Chains A and B, each alone.
Chain A
Protein backbone atom coordinates (compact mmCIF):
# COMPACT_ATOMS: atom_id res chain seq x y z
CA UNK A 1 0.00 0.00 0.00
CA UNK A 2 1.41 3.32 -1.02
CA UNK A 3 0.42 5.31 2.09
CA UNK A 4 2.05 2.79 4.43
CA UNK A 5 5.10 2.55 2.24
CA UNK A 6 5.52 6.33 2.30
CA UNK A 7 5.43 6.46 6.11
CA UNK A 8 7.88 3.57 6.47
CA UNK A 9 10.26 5.32 4.09
CA UNK A 10 10.08 8.59 6.03
CA UNK A 11 10.60 6.92 9.41
CA UNK A 12 13.52 4.87 8.09
CA UNK A 13 15.30 8.11 7.22
CA UNK A 14 15.62 8.98 10.91
CA UNK A 15 18.93 8.28 12.63
CA UNK A 16 19.11 4.91 14.33
CA UNK A 17 15.95 3.61 12.67
CA UNK A 18 16.24 0.82 10.17
CA UNK A 19 13.56 -0.45 7.83
CA UNK A 20 12.36 -3.12 10.21
CA UNK A 21 11.91 -0.67 13.09
CA UNK A 22 10.16 1.75 10.74
CA UNK A 23 7.69 -0.97 9.79
CA UNK A 24 7.11 -1.84 13.43
CA UNK A 25 6.42 1.81 14.31
CA UNK A 26 4.06 2.17 11.37
CA UNK A 27 2.00 -0.86 12.36
CA UNK A 28 2.00 0.27 15.96
CA UNK A 29 0.47 3.58 14.91
CA UNK A 30 -2.12 1.82 12.75
CA UNK A 31 -3.14 -0.37 15.67
CA UNK A 32 -3.52 2.61 18.00
CA UNK A 33 -6.16 4.19 15.80
CA UNK A 34 -6.38 7.49 13.92
CA UNK A 35 -6.34 9.79 16.99
CA UNK A 36 -2.83 8.71 17.96
CA UNK A 37 -1.47 9.29 14.47
CA UNK A 38 -3.13 12.68 14.18
CA UNK A 39 -1.62 13.83 17.46
CA UNK A 40 1.85 12.81 16.26
CA UNK A 41 1.27 14.55 12.94
CA UNK A 42 0.18 17.75 14.69
CA UNK A 43 3.22 17.70 16.98
CA UNK A 44 5.52 17.27 13.99
CA UNK A 45 3.78 20.04 12.12
CA UNK A 46 4.02 22.42 15.10
CA UNK A 47 7.74 21.76 15.46
CA UNK A 48 8.29 22.20 11.74
CA UNK A 49 6.47 25.53 11.60
CA UNK A 50 7.40 27.15 14.93
CA UNK A 51 10.88 25.95 15.84
CA UNK A 52 13.85 27.54 14.12
CA UNK A 53 17.49 28.31 14.78
CA UNK A 54 18.13 31.17 17.22
CA UNK A 55 19.32 34.16 15.24
CA UNK A 56 22.05 34.78 17.79
CA UNK A 57 23.47 31.40 18.73
CA UNK A 58 21.92 28.76 16.46
CA UNK A 59 20.25 26.80 19.25
CA UNK A 60 16.60 25.83 18.80
CA UNK A 61 14.14 28.65 19.42
CA UNK A 62 10.44 29.30 19.14
CA UNK A 63 11.03 33.02 18.85
CA UNK A 64 13.73 34.91 17.07
CA UNK A 65 16.13 34.28 19.95
CA UNK A 66 16.38 31.19 22.14
CA UNK A 67 15.61 30.93 25.85
CA UNK A 68 19.29 31.43 26.80
CA UNK A 69 19.92 34.46 24.59
CA UNK A 70 16.75 36.13 25.94
CA UNK A 71 17.66 35.41 29.57
CA UNK A 72 19.26 38.58 30.95
CA UNK A 73 20.63 36.68 33.96
CA UNK A 74 22.81 34.64 31.63
CA UNK A 75 26.36 35.98 31.30
CA UNK A 76 26.70 37.27 27.72
CA UNK A 77 30.47 37.61 28.19
CA UNK A 78 30.94 33.86 28.36
CA UNK A 79 30.19 31.74 25.30
CA UNK A 80 30.28 27.95 25.21
CA UNK A 81 30.77 26.70 21.64
CA UNK A 82 29.29 23.29 20.86
CA UNK A 83 28.77 21.19 17.74
CA UNK A 84 25.08 20.39 18.07
CA UNK A 85 22.00 21.46 19.99
CA UNK A 86 22.08 18.13 21.83
CA UNK A 87 25.35 19.20 23.48
CA UNK A 88 23.63 22.30 24.88
CA UNK A 89 21.19 20.03 26.62
CA UNK A 90 24.02 17.89 27.99
CA UNK A 91 25.79 20.95 29.43
CA UNK A 92 22.54 22.31 30.88
CA UNK A 93 21.63 18.95 32.41
CA UNK A 94 24.85 18.40 34.23
CA UNK A 95 26.63 21.67 34.93
CA UNK A 96 26.11 25.02 36.60
CA UNK A 97 27.10 26.86 33.45
CA UNK A 98 25.49 30.32 33.44
CA UNK A 99 26.86 31.73 30.21
CA UNK A 100 25.47 31.53 26.71
CA UNK A 101 26.01 29.16 23.82
CA UNK A 102 27.01 29.06 20.21
CA UNK A 103 25.93 26.05 18.14
CA UNK A 104 28.22 25.42 15.15
CA UNK A 105 25.85 23.03 13.42
CA UNK A 106 28.48 20.30 13.01
CA UNK A 107 32.25 19.91 13.01
CA UNK A 108 34.99 20.16 10.42
CA UNK A 109 35.05 16.89 8.52
CA UNK A 110 36.97 16.54 5.25
CA UNK A 111 35.51 13.09 4.62
CA UNK A 112 32.01 14.55 4.71
CA UNK A 113 33.05 17.66 2.79
CA UNK A 114 32.26 19.89 5.78
CA UNK A 115 34.56 22.91 5.83
CA UNK A 116 34.49 26.13 7.85
CA UNK A 117 32.03 27.70 5.40
CA UNK A 118 29.44 25.04 6.33
CA UNK A 119 29.58 25.90 10.04
CA UNK A 120 28.29 28.91 11.97
CA UNK A 121 31.76 30.41 12.40
CA UNK A 122 31.14 33.81 10.82
CA UNK A 123 28.28 34.48 13.22
CA UNK A 124 30.53 33.48 16.15
CA UNK A 125 33.10 36.04 15.00
CA UNK A 126 30.36 38.62 14.64
CA UNK A 127 29.25 38.02 18.22
CA UNK A 128 32.80 38.26 19.49
CA UNK A 129 33.46 41.44 17.53
CA UNK A 130 30.22 42.91 18.75
CA UNK A 131 32.02 43.40 22.05
CA UNK A 132 31.46 42.29 25.63
CA UNK A 133 32.71 38.73 25.20
CA UNK A 134 35.48 37.85 27.70
CA UNK A 135 35.83 34.15 27.15
CA UNK A 136 34.96 31.52 24.55
CA UNK A 137 34.91 27.92 25.78
CA UNK A 138 35.48 25.42 22.98
CA UNK A 139 33.28 22.47 23.93
CA UNK A 140 33.38 20.53 20.69
CA UNK A 141 33.17 16.76 21.07
CA UNK A 142 36.18 14.80 22.30
CA UNK A 143 36.86 13.23 18.91
CA UNK A 144 39.46 13.75 16.20
CA UNK A 145 37.14 16.05 14.22
CA UNK A 146 36.07 17.84 17.39
CA UNK A 147 39.72 18.48 18.25
CA UNK A 148 40.60 19.83 14.83
CA UNK A 149 37.53 22.04 14.93
CA UNK A 150 38.67 23.42 18.28
CA UNK A 151 42.23 24.09 17.08
CA UNK A 152 40.87 25.81 13.97
CA UNK A 153 38.50 27.99 16.01
CA UNK A 154 41.34 28.86 18.34
CA UNK A 155 43.35 30.15 15.36
CA UNK A 156 40.37 32.11 14.08
CA UNK A 157 39.74 33.68 17.50
CA UNK A 158 43.37 34.45 18.25
CA UNK A 159 43.95 38.17 18.08
CA UNK A 160 40.37 39.01 19.03
CA UNK A 161 41.57 39.93 22.51
CA UNK A 162 39.69 37.38 24.58
CA UNK A 163 40.34 34.24 26.54
CA UNK A 164 39.89 30.98 24.61
CA UNK A 165 39.60 27.79 26.63
CA UNK A 166 39.01 24.13 25.92
CA UNK A 167 37.23 21.55 28.07
CA UNK A 168 39.75 19.81 30.32
CA UNK A 169 41.31 16.59 29.10
CA UNK A 170 39.98 13.45 30.66
CA UNK A 171 36.74 13.34 28.75
CA UNK A 172 36.46 9.93 27.15
CA UNK A 173 37.66 10.39 23.56
CA UNK A 174 35.35 9.21 20.89
CA UNK A 175 31.95 9.95 22.33
CA UNK A 176 29.68 12.91 21.87
CA UNK A 177 29.15 15.28 24.79
CA UNK A 178 25.61 13.99 25.07
CA UNK A 179 26.98 10.59 26.09
CA UNK A 180 29.41 11.88 28.68
CA UNK A 181 28.20 11.41 32.23
CA UNK A 182 27.22 14.58 34.05
CA UNK A 183 29.90 14.56 36.75
CA UNK A 184 32.70 14.17 34.22
CA UNK A 185 31.30 16.91 32.02
CA UNK A 186 30.82 19.31 34.94
CA UNK A 187 34.41 18.68 35.99
CA UNK A 188 35.76 19.16 32.46
CA UNK A 189 33.99 22.50 32.26
CA UNK A 190 35.21 23.71 35.65
CA UNK A 191 38.78 22.61 34.94
CA UNK A 192 38.83 24.08 31.45
CA UNK A 193 42.23 25.20 30.24
CA UNK A 194 43.64 28.01 28.20
CA UNK A 195 44.77 26.83 24.83
CA UNK A 196 48.44 27.34 24.25
CA UNK A 197 50.05 27.47 20.85
Chain B
Protein backbone atom coordinates (compact mmCIF):
# COMPACT_ATOMS: atom_id res chain seq x y z
CA UNK B 1 0.00 0.00 0.00
CA UNK B 2 1.45 3.39 -0.95
CA UNK B 3 1.99 5.94 1.80
CA UNK B 4 -0.51 8.75 2.36
CA UNK B 5 0.78 12.24 1.64
CA UNK B 6 -0.21 15.41 3.49
CA UNK B 7 1.24 18.85 4.14
CA UNK B 8 2.92 18.77 7.55
CA UNK B 9 4.92 20.87 9.98
CA UNK B 10 7.57 19.43 12.33
CA UNK B 11 6.67 20.31 15.91
CA UNK B 12 9.39 18.35 17.62
CA UNK B 13 12.02 15.72 17.04
CA UNK B 14 13.55 13.25 19.47
CA UNK B 15 16.49 11.01 18.91
CA UNK B 16 15.49 7.38 18.72
CA UNK B 17 18.27 4.85 19.00
CA UNK B 18 21.54 5.72 17.31
CA UNK B 19 20.30 6.63 13.88
CA UNK B 20 16.59 7.44 13.91
CA UNK B 21 14.30 10.23 14.97
CA UNK B 22 10.76 10.35 16.22
CA UNK B 23 9.04 13.44 14.88
CA UNK B 24 5.88 15.15 16.06
CA UNK B 25 3.89 16.39 13.12
CA UNK B 26 1.00 18.76 12.66
CA UNK B 27 -0.53 17.49 9.43
CA UNK B 28 -3.19 19.23 7.38
CA UNK B 29 -5.12 16.11 6.45
CA UNK B 30 -4.43 13.68 9.30
CA UNK B 31 -4.29 15.87 12.39
CA UNK B 32 -1.53 15.56 14.95
CA UNK B 33 0.74 12.54 14.49
CA UNK B 34 3.96 11.03 15.80
CA UNK B 35 6.08 9.18 13.31
CA UNK B 36 9.34 7.27 13.21
CA UNK B 37 11.87 8.51 10.65
CA UNK B 38 14.20 5.55 10.30
CA UNK B 39 17.84 6.40 9.69
CA UNK B 40 17.20 10.16 9.84
CA UNK B 41 20.43 10.74 11.77
CA UNK B 42 22.62 8.90 9.27
CA UNK B 43 24.98 11.20 7.33
CA UNK B 44 23.43 10.47 3.95
CA UNK B 45 19.88 9.88 5.09
CA UNK B 46 17.13 10.43 2.53
CA UNK B 47 15.60 12.89 4.98
CA UNK B 48 18.69 15.05 4.65
CA UNK B 49 18.16 18.46 6.16
CA UNK B 50 14.41 18.29 6.08
CA UNK B 51 13.39 17.21 9.57
CA UNK B 52 14.09 20.52 11.29
CA UNK B 53 11.95 21.92 14.05
CA UNK B 54 9.15 24.07 12.54
CA UNK B 55 10.01 23.25 8.95
CA UNK B 56 7.14 22.47 6.59
CA UNK B 57 6.82 19.97 3.81
CA UNK B 58 4.82 17.09 2.41
CA UNK B 59 4.93 14.05 4.68
CA UNK B 60 4.62 10.56 3.25
CA UNK B 61 3.16 8.45 6.04
CA UNK B 62 2.44 4.77 6.43
CA UNK B 63 -0.52 4.68 8.76
CA UNK B 64 -1.53 1.97 11.15
CA UNK B 65 -4.56 3.32 12.91
CA UNK B 66 -4.12 0.86 15.76
CA UNK B 67 -0.75 2.42 16.62
CA UNK B 68 0.33 5.70 18.16
CA UNK B 69 3.58 5.78 16.22
CA UNK B 70 3.38 5.95 12.43
CA UNK B 71 6.18 5.53 9.92
CA UNK B 72 7.49 8.51 8.00
CA UNK B 73 8.66 7.29 4.61
CA UNK B 74 9.72 10.67 3.23
CA UNK B 75 9.39 14.39 3.85
CA UNK B 76 9.56 16.73 0.84
CA UNK B 77 10.65 20.03 2.26
CA UNK B 78 8.73 23.11 1.10
CA UNK B 79 9.97 25.60 3.70
CA UNK B 80 12.89 25.18 6.08
CA UNK B 81 11.94 28.38 7.95
CA UNK B 82 15.55 28.99 8.86
CA UNK B 83 14.72 32.69 9.28
CA UNK B 84 13.05 31.80 12.61
CA UNK B 85 16.54 31.26 14.04
CA UNK B 86 17.47 34.91 13.44
CA UNK B 87 16.81 35.91 17.04
CA UNK B 88 15.53 34.45 20.27
CA UNK B 89 12.24 36.43 20.58
CA UNK B 90 11.23 35.21 17.11
CA UNK B 91 12.24 31.62 17.76
CA UNK B 92 10.59 31.48 21.18
CA UNK B 93 7.29 32.86 19.82
CA UNK B 94 7.34 30.30 17.02
CA UNK B 95 8.16 27.48 19.44
CA UNK B 96 5.33 28.59 21.76
CA UNK B 97 2.84 28.49 18.88
CA UNK B 98 4.14 25.06 17.89
CA UNK B 99 3.69 23.83 21.45
CA UNK B 100 0.08 25.06 21.58
CA UNK B 101 -0.63 23.35 18.24
CA UNK B 102 0.88 20.12 19.49
CA UNK B 103 -0.94 20.12 22.82
CA UNK B 104 -4.40 21.30 21.83
CA UNK B 105 -5.01 20.37 18.20
CA UNK B 106 -7.53 17.57 17.73
CA UNK B 107 -6.32 14.12 16.68
CA UNK B 108 -8.33 14.32 13.48
CA UNK B 109 -7.87 16.65 10.52
CA UNK B 110 -8.38 20.35 11.29
CA UNK B 111 -7.28 22.37 8.24
CA UNK B 112 -8.17 25.77 9.73
CA UNK B 113 -5.73 25.43 12.62
CA UNK B 114 -3.08 23.94 10.35
CA UNK B 115 -3.34 26.86 7.93
CA UNK B 116 -3.19 29.32 10.80
CA UNK B 117 -0.08 27.65 12.22
CA UNK B 118 1.60 27.61 8.81
CA UNK B 119 0.71 31.25 8.16
CA UNK B 120 1.86 32.29 11.64
CA UNK B 121 5.29 30.71 11.13
CA UNK B 122 5.66 32.44 7.78
CA UNK B 123 4.73 35.80 9.28
CA UNK B 124 7.10 35.37 12.23
CA UNK B 125 9.93 34.37 9.94
CA UNK B 126 9.85 37.61 8.01
CA UNK B 127 8.38 40.22 10.39
CA UNK B 128 10.61 43.06 11.64
CA UNK B 129 12.04 42.38 15.09
CA UNK B 130 10.04 45.12 16.82
CA UNK B 131 6.75 43.56 15.64
CA UNK B 132 7.51 40.04 16.88
CA UNK B 133 6.20 40.55 20.40
CA UNK B 134 2.69 41.64 19.47
CA UNK B 135 2.49 39.31 16.46
CA UNK B 136 3.33 36.37 18.70
CA UNK B 137 0.48 37.31 21.04
CA UNK B 138 -1.94 37.74 18.11
CA UNK B 139 -1.02 34.35 16.62
CA UNK B 140 -1.32 32.54 19.93
CA UNK B 141 -4.76 33.99 20.68
CA UNK B 142 -5.86 33.33 17.09
CA UNK B 143 -4.71 29.74 17.28
CA UNK B 144 -6.58 28.93 20.50
CA UNK B 145 -9.63 30.70 19.05
CA UNK B 146 -9.56 28.69 15.82
CA UNK B 147 -9.16 25.55 17.94
CA UNK B 148 -12.46 26.45 19.63
CA UNK B 149 -11.13 27.94 22.86
CA UNK B 150 -11.63 31.65 22.20
CA UNK B 151 -11.77 33.61 25.46
CA UNK B 152 -15.21 35.00 26.40
CA UNK B 153 -14.89 38.79 26.14
CA UNK B 154 -18.41 40.13 25.59
CA UNK B 155 -20.34 37.61 27.67
CA UNK B 156 -19.72 36.14 31.11
CA UNK B 157 -17.74 32.93 30.69
CA UNK B 158 -19.83 31.25 33.39
CA UNK B 159 -23.43 32.26 32.84
CA UNK B 160 -23.46 34.17 29.56
CA UNK B 161 -24.54 37.53 31.00
CA UNK B 162 -23.58 40.24 28.47
CA UNK B 163 -20.61 42.30 29.63
CA UNK B 164 -21.05 46.02 28.85
CA UNK B 165 -18.38 47.23 26.40
CA UNK B 166 -15.69 49.75 27.35
CA UNK B 167 -15.82 48.84 31.03
CA UNK B 168 -13.11 47.09 33.04
CA UNK B 169 -13.02 43.35 32.34
CA UNK B 170 -12.83 40.88 35.22
CA UNK B 171 -10.82 38.14 33.55
CA UNK B 172 -10.68 34.64 34.98
CA UNK B 173 -8.03 32.41 33.42
CA UNK B 174 -9.61 29.30 34.89
CA UNK B 175 -13.11 30.10 33.59
CA UNK B 176 -11.72 31.07 30.21
CA UNK B 177 -12.67 34.73 29.96
CA UNK B 178 -14.53 37.68 31.47
CA UNK B 179 -16.99 37.27 34.32
CA UNK B 180 -20.06 39.33 35.20
CA UNK B 181 -20.19 41.12 38.55
CA UNK B 182 -22.28 38.29 40.03
CA UNK B 183 -19.82 35.53 39.07
CA UNK B 184 -16.58 37.39 39.76
CA UNK B 185 -16.01 36.55 43.40
CA UNK B 186 -12.41 37.69 43.45
CA UNK B 187 -10.75 34.30 43.18
CA UNK B 188 -8.10 34.26 40.43
CA UNK B 189 -9.72 37.22 38.70
CA UNK B 190 -7.55 39.96 37.26
CA UNK B 191 -9.17 43.22 36.25
CA UNK B 192 -8.24 44.66 32.86
CA UNK B 193 -8.65 48.41 32.43
CA UNK B 194 -10.75 49.36 29.35
CA UNK B 195 -7.59 50.12 27.35
CA UNK B 196 -6.10 46.69 28.14
CA UNK B 197 -9.43 45.04 27.44
CA UNK B 198 -9.52 46.71 24.01
CA UNK B 199 -5.97 45.53 23.37
CA UNK B 200 -6.96 41.96 24.23
CA UNK B 201 -10.03 42.17 21.96
CA UNK B 202 -7.79 43.41 19.16
CA UNK B 203 -5.32 40.56 19.68
CA UNK B 204 -8.06 37.91 19.58
CA UNK B 205 -9.68 39.38 16.47
CA UNK B 206 -8.36 38.44 13.05
CA UNK B 207 -8.94 41.85 11.48
CA UNK B 208 -8.44 44.50 14.15
CA UNK B 209 -5.38 46.69 13.95
CA UNK B 210 -2.61 45.40 16.21
CA UNK B 211 -2.25 47.23 19.52
CA UNK B 212 0.98 49.00 20.43
CA UNK B 213 2.63 47.94 23.69
CA UNK B 214 5.48 49.03 25.86
CA UNK B 215 7.44 46.14 27.42
CA UNK B 216 5.51 46.33 30.71
CA UNK B 217 2.16 45.89 28.96
CA UNK B 218 3.54 43.25 26.66
CA UNK B 219 4.73 41.32 29.71
CA UNK B 220 1.30 41.45 31.36
CA UNK B 221 -0.34 40.29 28.13
CA UNK B 222 2.09 37.40 27.89
CA UNK B 223 1.30 36.52 31.49
CA UNK B 224 -2.44 36.69 30.81
CA UNK B 225 -2.21 34.35 27.84
CA UNK B 226 0.05 31.90 29.67
CA UNK B 227 -2.35 31.79 32.65
CA UNK B 228 -5.34 31.31 30.38
CA UNK B 229 -3.59 28.41 28.71
CA UNK B 230 -2.39 26.77 31.91
CA UNK B 231 -5.56 27.07 33.92
CA UNK B 232 -8.24 26.86 31.28
CA UNK B 233 -6.72 24.38 28.82
CA UNK B 234 -3.68 22.62 30.20
CA UNK B 235 -5.09 21.84 33.65
CA UNK B 236 -1.82 22.86 35.20
CA UNK B 237 0.29 20.74 32.84
CA UNK B 238 3.81 21.78 31.89
CA UNK B 239 4.20 24.04 28.86
CA UNK B 240 7.97 24.63 28.63
CA UNK B 241 7.94 26.66 25.41
CA UNK B 242 5.11 28.87 26.70
CA UNK B 243 7.05 29.47 29.93
CA UNK B 244 10.20 30.25 27.91
CA UNK B 245 8.29 32.77 25.77
CA UNK B 246 6.42 34.25 28.74
CA UNK B 247 9.43 34.81 30.99
CA UNK B 248 11.99 35.95 28.39
CA UNK B 249 14.71 35.10 30.89
CA UNK B 250 17.36 36.00 28.32
CA UNK B 251 16.41 39.69 28.37
CA UNK B 252 17.73 40.46 31.83
CA UNK B 253 21.18 39.20 30.88
Chain A positions near chain B (C-beta within 8 angstroms):
15-16, 18, 108, 110-113, 115-117, 142-145, 147-148, 151-152, 155-156, 172-176, 179-181, 197
Contacts and interface: CB of A to CB of B under 8 A. Distances in A.
Contact of B43 (A18, A111, A112, A180): A180
A110 B250 contact: no
Contacts of B243: 113
B226 interface: no
Contacts of A174: 40, 47-52
B15 A16 contact: yes
B49 A151 contact: no
A113 to B, nearest CB: 4
Interface residues of B, number: 40
Interface string B1-18: 000000000001001111
A144 B88 CA distance: 11
A148 B53 CA distance: 12
Nearest to A176: B41
Contact of B49 (A113, A116, A172): A172
A108 B41 CA distance: 20
Contacts of B86: 151, 197
Contacts of B15: 15-16
A41 to B, nearest CB: 24
B240 interface: yes
A145 B17 CA distance: 20
Contacts of B47: 174
A148 B249 contact: no
B154 interface: no
Contact of A144 (B18, B85, B253): B85
A179 B47 CA distance: 14
B249 A115 contact: yes
Contact of B41 (A117, A142, A175): A175
B225 to A, nearest CB: 15
B38 to A, nearest CB: 14
B87 interface: yes
Contacts of B241: 110-111, 113
A148 B85 contact: yes
B82 A110 contact: no
A172 B95 contact: no
B209 to A, nearest CB: 28
Given A179-B41, A179-B42, A110 B244 contact: yes
Contacts of A148: 84-85, 87-88, 91
Given A110-B95, A110-B245, A113-B244, A152 B88 contact: yes
